[in-house]
Chain A
Amino acid sequence: MDFEHSDERKMLADTLDRWVLQDYPLAARLTAGASELGYARDKWASLAELGVIGALFAEEDGGFGGHGFDLSVVFQSLGRGLVVEPLLQSGVLGGGAVALGGGQAELIEALISGEKQTALAHFEASDGGEIDAIEAVAEKTRDGWRLRGQKAVVRSAASADFLVVSAKSAAGVSLFMVPSDNGGLSLQTYQTIDGGSASEVLLDAVDLPTDALIGTEGQGAEILTEVLGRGVLCLCAEALGLMEVIRDITVEFLQTRKQFGLPIGKFQALQHRMAEMLLEIEQVKSAVINAADVVDTPGRPRERALSAAKYTVGRVGKLVAEEAIQMHGGMGMTWEYPLGHFAKRLVMIDHELGDEDHHLTRFIALGRADGRADG
């Protein structure tokens, strides 16, 4: 038994943490997060240069990582830095799907170098997080495919060179690469409350060549199960990083803020709440380890561990965000103080890739004898 990360992973985390400390000041992040692009191009280039994108892809795909603990180490550090650059979308979800489809070595290389970006456009306004509940359709044409449908709240879609779009065809759910300049594609782009940009995606007769299909027709569900699971792990690890920062900020505040002649951390009412928060964050850390350990092994135990982690992060994330703000009093409510920005991102993670209730329901269903996952 060994709960230490390998030296390579520790080095990667150290490098990334140092970069955040020296080159990723919060004020610049907030400005970039509220800009039209939703992030900073030079920071994206630096992340690529540091090898962070490469660490998200397996060696056989041209990267140098891609395992569960590579993802968790990277995203925990990204969380600590409140990094807004689209690593999840381009490096894990969209990029991950392209890699699993196979035969795109050159494109993956461009994604890893940061030269190209992609984003996964899968979820729709009315679905419940089930992969085959989508309504977008793909029909075969003489020269390839034609896609119709709508996708909801696709983060970082506007800066992607191409979108990875899910749609139903005769053989089930399939995935397609849609270049951003396709005439049938239109985006309605907006800011998100936690920084960054997202878009409503309209696919109005999107015509694509045959080779836009990722993998084989009908392989979409299998690929999505794999990459969405990896995405869940990344969000959980990011949340853990956010919680660690919030914990440290709050502990320092309890030690230094004085009222009634004492540091407020001397009051037992707050001591116990802080202790509760620490306990719960340790539980999250374990949930992330459990999920990272099995994310590379398809099957029911993987799905259960991922849902367990996302449920835990949803529940604890709300607790940590709300308790930290409350213990800070008015200070925690201000834009100027870092806490609120970490808290906003932490709460919003429960709104991505299925919330607390969704994953609790899924965990229960996966534990039933028939393993029916649709709750």
Chain B
Amino acid sequence: MDLAYSDAERAFQSEARAWLAQNLSPDLSNKVRKGLHLSKADMEGWHATLNAKGWLANHWPVDLGGTGWSPVQQHLFEEECCAAYAPRIVPFGLSMLGPVLIKYGSQAQKDHWLPRILDGSDWWCQGYSEPGAGSDLASLQTKAVRDGDHYVVNGQKTWTTLGQFANMIFCLVRTSSEGKKQEGISFLLIDMETPGVELRPIHLLEGTHEVNDVFFTDVRVPVENLVGEENKGWTYAKFLLGYERAGIAGVGFSNAALRELKTIANDQMRAGRKLADDPLFAARMARVEIELENMKTTNLRVLSAAAKGGAPGPESSMLKIKGSEIRQELDSLKRRAIGAYAAPFVPDAFEPGFNGPNIGPDYAAPIAQQYFNNRKISIFGGSNEIQKNIISKMIVGL
């Protein structure tokens, strides 16, 4: 038993930290720290910076333009990025589609699409959920019917994150209604510019526009955009959902949130003393810190097993549940900590270039909005209820 990182891992950590200090602009980092809205150009610019260094596809194999990093290295890099307030790497092309193409795509598909993900030619979004198919994803109804060299796609996808920036969408579509519902699903790559694709924004409860509905009306998709085999898409979809074990716990985000929480609790005064010294609030902070410390080790145990090639078990589901609960509790405590200043809401304050005065302490502005917005993290990517189903199926086996 040895909980310490190896010398090589610690050297890697230092290298990543030094590189971030050199290459992440203070302006961009500041936007992330203050919870300002990032523009498409901000995110593309950060991708380009990482790509120039060769660190963008940090879990792809080296021969395809990736880093070839171990799971522990990926984890360390994510932690350093969060600590430096770097923008997150947009996952749809790099973490979701990329691994699917690498494992199941044809040579031609890999040759064409992977470099375009790296150099930013394509911005991908995800077409999985439908209005009638959320937790029960396999019941999806968007149809693709073969017509010569094309599939003709009709249906609707929803919760498509950052679809407003995307030119490409990877979709699960129904190509057969025979047999089990999982067995008639195919994985299709669709150009958003194709006639018949229509995107409509969905506004979230705190007013932001992150997700969209995407409608397909007689959309003609070339057959070469089918990934793998027809009717085998469910296998690829599950692979994709279970893939990203390194980042799923969100340890980096929680570390940063805990640091912010402590800063706030030491700044806020209640009844003549620091909020951090209020016994009830101190207990709330201590409980979540303990949870986080425990989860960090759980996360490292999982990464260590993965590095040794252990088969993926229900661990990613466990990490998603615990990780989301901890992040949400930290958001909630930050909200509690600012008291009455949770209420002010100045939409312009989240836009870059806002010059108006702060309302209350300068850290207060995004906190309530982030609390409400992050209710999503126990819902997306398979709700925590679905994760519990997965765990109990694997453990209880009934």
- Whether the Cβ atoms of A329 and B379 lie closer than 8 Å is yes
Residues from chain B with Cβ under 8 Å of A329 in the complex: 134-135, 379, 383
Q: How far is the CA of A127 from the CA of B340 in the complex (A)?
A: 11
- Evaluate whether A334 and B205 lie within 8 angstroms (CB atoms) in the complex, with A193-B369, A326-B378, A375-B271 already known: yes
- Whether the Cβ atoms of B272 and A133 lie closer than 8 Å is yes
- Evaluate whether A188 and B359 lie within 8 angstroms (CB atoms) in the complex, with A335-B205, A357-B336 already known: yes
Of B147-155, B232-240, B287-295, B341-349, the stretch lying at the interface with chain A is: B341-349
- Whether the Cβ atoms of A198 and B344 lie closer than 8 Å is yes
- Evaluate whether A259 and B271 lie within 8 angstroms (CB atoms) in the complex, with A153-B340, A329-B379 already known: no
Q: Is A325 an interface residue (CB 8 A)?
A: yes
Residues from chain B with Cβ under 8 Å of A352 in the complex: 340, 343
Q: Is B278 an interface residue (CB 8 A)?
A: yes
Q: Whole-angstrom distance from the CB of A153 to the nearest CB of chain B?
A: 4
Which B-chain residue is minimally distant from A362 (CB atoms)? Answer: B271
Which A-chain residue is minimally distant from B204 (CB atoms)? Answer: A333
B324-366 CB contacts (< 8 Å) to partner A: 328, 332, 335-336, 339-347, 357, 359-360
- Whether the Cβ atoms of A259 and B378 lie closer than 8 Å is no
Chain A interface, DSSP helix/strand/loop, else mixed: mixed
- Whether the Cβ atoms of A126 and B388 lie closer than 8 Å is no
Of A6-14, A16-24, A203-211, A341-349, the stretch lying at the interface with chain B is: A341-349
Mask for A343-375, Cβ within 8 A of B = 1, else 0?
A: 110011011100111101100000000000011
Q: Whole-angstrom distance from the CB of A133 to the nearest CB of chain B?
A: 7
Interface centre among A318, A356, A357 (most CB of B within 10 A): A357
- Whether the Cβ atoms of A348 and B343 lie closer than 8 Å is yes
- Evaluate whether A361 and B205 lie within 8 angstroms (CB atoms) in the complex, with A351-B340, A355-B339 already known: no
Q: How far is the CA of A243 from the CA of B343 in the complex (A)?
A: 19
- Whether the Cβ atoms of B271 and A334 lie closer than 8 Å is no
Q: How far is the CA of A357 from the CA of B339 in the complex (A)?
A: 11
Q: Whole-angstrom distance from the CB of A356 to the nearest CB of chain B?
A: 8
Chain A residues with a Cβ under 8 A of chain B:
123, 125-130, 133, 152-153, 155, 188, 190-194, 198, 200, 258-260, 264, 269-270, 318, 322, 325-326, 329-330, 332-336, 339-341, 343-344, 347-348, 350-352, 355-358, 360-361, 374-375
Chain B residues with a Cβ under 8 A of chain A:
129, 132-136, 139, 158-159, 202-207, 211, 269-272, 278, 280-281, 284, 328, 332, 335-336, 339-347, 357, 359-360, 368-369, 371-372, 375-376, 378-380, 383-385, 388
- Whether the Cβ atoms of B129 and A330 lie closer than 8 Å is yes
- Whether the Cβ atoms of A190 and B346 lie closer than 8 Å is yes
Which B-chain residue is minimally distant from A355 (CB atoms)? Answer: B336
Residues from chain A with Cβ under 8 Å of B135 in the complex: 259-260, 264, 329
- Whether the Cβ atoms of B207 and A335 lie closer than 8 Å is yes
Q: Whole-angstrom distance from the CB of B177 to the nearest CB of chain A?
A: 15
Q: How far is the CA of A195 from the CA of B16 in the complex (A)?
A: 44
Residues from chain A with Cβ under 8 Å of B203 in the complex: 334-336
Which A-chain residue is minimally distant from B129 (CB atoms)? Answer: A330
| 18 A-B pairs in the complex with CB atoms less than 8 angstroms apart | A125-B360, A129-B270, A130-B271, A133-B272, A152-B360, A259-B133, A325-B375, A326-B378, A329-B383, A330-B129, A334-B205, A335-B203, A336-B202, A352-B340, A355-B336, A355-B339, A358-B270, A360-B280
Q: Whole-angstrom distance from the CB of B244 to the nearest CB of chain A?
A: 20
Q: How far is the CA of A347 from the CA of B370 in the complex (A)?
A: 13
Residues from chain A with Cβ under 8 Å of B278 in the complex: 357, 361
- Evaluate whether A333 and B336 lie within 8 angstroms (CB atoms) in the complex, with A125-B360, A152-B341, A341-B205 already known: no
Which B-chain residue is minimally distant from A270 (CB atoms)? Answer: B385
Residues from chain A with Cβ under 8 Å of B206 in the complex: 193, 340, 344
Residues from chain B with Cβ under 8 Å of A152 in the complex: 340-341, 360
Q: How far is the CA of A192 from the CA of B202 in the complex (A)?
A: 21
- Residue of A153, A259, A260, A325 near B341 (CB, 8 A) is A153
- Residue of B134, B272, B328, B342 near A351 (CB, 8 A) is B342
Q: How far is the CA of A190 from the CA of B139 in the complex (A)?
A: 45
- Whether the Cβ atoms of B359 and A330 lie closer than 8 Å is no
- Whether the Cβ atoms of A330 and B375 lie closer than 8 Å is no
Residues from chain A with Cβ under 8 Å of B335 in the complex: 347, 351
Q: How far is the CA of A130 from the CA of B133 in the complex (A)?
A: 51
- Evaluate whether A191 and B345 lie within 8 angstroms (CB atoms) in the complex, with A330-B134, A344-B372 already known: yes
- Whether the Cβ atoms of A351 and B343 lie closer than 8 Å is yes
- Whether the Cβ atoms of B336 and A193 lie closer than 8 Å is no
- Residue of A326, A348, A375 near B342 (CB, 8 A) is A348
- Whether the Cβ atoms of B202 and A334 lie closer than 8 Å is yes
Which A-chain residue is minimally distant from B344 (CB atoms)? Answer: A190
Residues from chain B with Cβ under 8 Å of A333 in the complex: 204-205, 375-376, 379
Q: How far is the CA of A188 from the CA of B158 in the complex (A)?
A: 40
Q: How far is the CA of A18 from the CA of B16 in the complex (A)?
A: 63
Q: Which 8 A-B pairs have the closest CB atoms?
A: A340-B205, A128-B271, A259-B136, A335-B203, A193-B345, A128-B270, A153-B340, A357-B280
Q: How far is the CA of A198 from the CA of B360 in the complex (A)?
A: 12
Contacts A123-B340, A192-B343, A333-B376 known; 20 new A-B pairs at CB < 8 A? A133-B272, A152-B340, A190-B345, A191-B345, A191-B346, A193-B206, A200-B359, A259-B133, A260-B135, A260-B139, A326-B385, A330-B379, A333-B205, A334-B204, A347-B371, A348-B343, A351-B335, A352-B343, A357-B336, A360-B280
- Evaluate whether A351 and B375 lie within 8 angstroms (CB atoms) in the complex, with A330-B134, A357-B281 already known: no
- Whether the Cβ atoms of B136 and A361 lie closer than 8 Å is no
Q: Whole-angstrom distance from the CB of B25 to the nearest CB of chain A?
A: 30
- Whether the Cβ atoms of A344 and B341 lie closer than 8 Å is no
Q: Whole-angstrom distance from the CB of B161 to the nearest CB of chain A?
A: 11
- Whether the Cβ atoms of A126 and B269 lie closer than 8 Å is yes
Q: How far is the CA of A123 from the CA of B134 in the complex (A)?
A: 45
Residues from chain A with Cβ under 8 Å of B388 in the complex: 269
- Evaluate whether A194 and B134 lie within 8 angstroms (CB atoms) in the complex, with A334-B204, A335-B203 already known: no
Q: How far is the CA of A348 from the CA of B369 in the complex (A)?
A: 11
- Whether the Cβ atoms of B343 and A198 lie closer than 8 Å is yes
- Whether the Cβ atoms of B375 and A322 lie closer than 8 Å is yes
Q: Whole-angstrom distance from the CB of B208 to the nearest CB of chain A?
A: 9
Q: Whole-angstrom distance from the CB of B198 to the nearest CB of chain A?
A: 17
Which B-chain residue is minimally distant from A331 (CB atoms)? Answer: B134
Residues from chain B with Cβ under 8 Å of A375 in the complex: 271
Which A-chain residue is minimally distant from B338 (CB atoms)? Answer: A351
- Whether the Cβ atoms of B271 and A260 lie closer than 8 Å is no
Q: How far is the CA of A258 from the CA of B135 in the complex (A)?
A: 10
- Evaluate whether A374 and B204 lie within 8 angstroms (CB atoms) in the complex, with A269-B388, A330-B129 already known: no
Which A-chain residue is minimally distant from B280 (CB atoms)? Answer: A357
Q: Whole-angstrom distance from the CB of B159 to the nearest CB of chain A?
A: 5
Residues from chain A with Cβ under 8 Å of B368 in the complex: 193, 348
Q: How far is the CA of A355 from the CA of B337 in the complex (A)?
A: 10
